[in-house]
Amino acid sequence: MPQTSSDLQQINVDDTAGKLKAHSKLPQRWAAFAKLFSSNWLLCALLFCIAMGFNLYRLGVPGIWFDEAFSVELARQPFPLFWQIIFGLEPNMELYYLFLHGWLGLTTLFGLHPTEAVVRFPSAIFSAASTVVVFLLGRRFLGLLASLIGAVLYLLNDLQLVFAQQARSYSLQLLLICLAWYALLAALTGSSHQKRWWICFIIATTLAIYAHLFSLIIVFAQLCA
């Protein structure tokens, strides 16, 4: 049966309405995407994965150098002797040596040898975690754009990347210092749970000092601030 002019007009109206309805959904979709992208958890996971990608690249190259060899050899000592050394003859980086001692003990249970990549892997984790903390610090106090720029600049810092691939305490120290700054700023800005933030600041600062004695310089800077 041939279509009349009124039928054709109705079809055109329906097509136009369908197109308008489809286009009206686009802003909603973009808004949903923007909301998802602005989610702290998603961005934290993304930044952590990107940082780990940088940190794991050629993690086992070059070979262990002198200071790293000292860290590994110390961490592999029997616990009584190990404890006596880190709190007697070598009273620095105690927290890192304790962690490395536990890490090497765990990897040994799974049959992993202390290769360059294995002994450096914790430092890569600490470095990636500190990148996330830098992002969260900027996100809370400066906004999304500033937090992303700060996290990327921190991630791509050459010295930070070197520390991320060394079996030494430096990346752990950086992580704890970043946490201490976050807690301090949160406490000083009069946010909720202020007492808890002061407790977090004290804990993070104390652990940072046990990670490396030079963290005392940062404590002095925080007191001056």
Query: What HEC string does 110-131 produce?
Result: CCCCCCHHHHHHHHHHHHHHHH
Question: Using CA atoms, how far apart are residues 179 and 163, in angstroms rounded to an integer?
Answer: 17
Residue 26 has pLDDT above 90, yes or no: no
pLDDT-derived band of residue 13, with 50, 70 and 90 as boundaries? very low
Residue 78 has pLDDT above 80, yes or no: yes
Among 28-42, 88-102, 119-133, the range with the most confident prediction by mean pLDDT is 119-133
112 against 22, higher pLDDT: 112
pTM of the model: 0.82
Average pLDDT value for the chain: 87
pLDDT digits (tens, 9 = 90+) for 82-110: 999 998 888 899 999 999 999 999 999 99
- Characterize 125-157 residue by residue with b for buried, 16 or more Cβ atoms within 10 angstroms of its Cβ, and e for exposed: bbbbbbbbbbbbbbbeeeeeeebeebbbebbee
Instruction: Return the closest-CA partner of residue 168 out of 124, 133, 134, 112.
Output: 124
How far is CA 124 from each of CA 34, 75, 223, rounded to the nearest angstrom?
Answer: 30, 18, 30
209: tokens are: 């000092």
Helices 116-141 and 66-75: crossing angle in degrees, nearest 10, is 100
pLDDT at residue 54, as a whole number = 97
pLDDT-derived band of residue 8, with 50, 70 and 90 as boundaries? very low
Mean pLDDT of 186-194: 82
pLDDT at residue 21, as a whole number = 55
Check: CB of residue 172 under 8 Å from CB of residue 99: yes
Residue 4 has pLDDT above 80, yes or no: no
Residue 223 has pLDDT above 90, yes or no: no
Check: CB of residue 161 under 8 Å from CB of residue 51: no
Residue 32 has pLDDT above 90, yes or no: no
Question: Using CA atoms, how far apart are residues 206 and 200, in angstroms rounded to an integer?
Answer: 10
pLDDT at residue 18, as a whole number = 56
Run of H or E including 138 = helix 116-141
pLDDT at residue 33, as a whole number = 47
Any idea which residue has 């600041």 for tokens? Answer: 201
Mean pLDDT of 66-93: 93
Any idea which residue has 């309405």 for tokens? Answer: 17
pLDDT digits (tens, 9 = 90+) for 136-155: 999 999 999 999 999 999 99
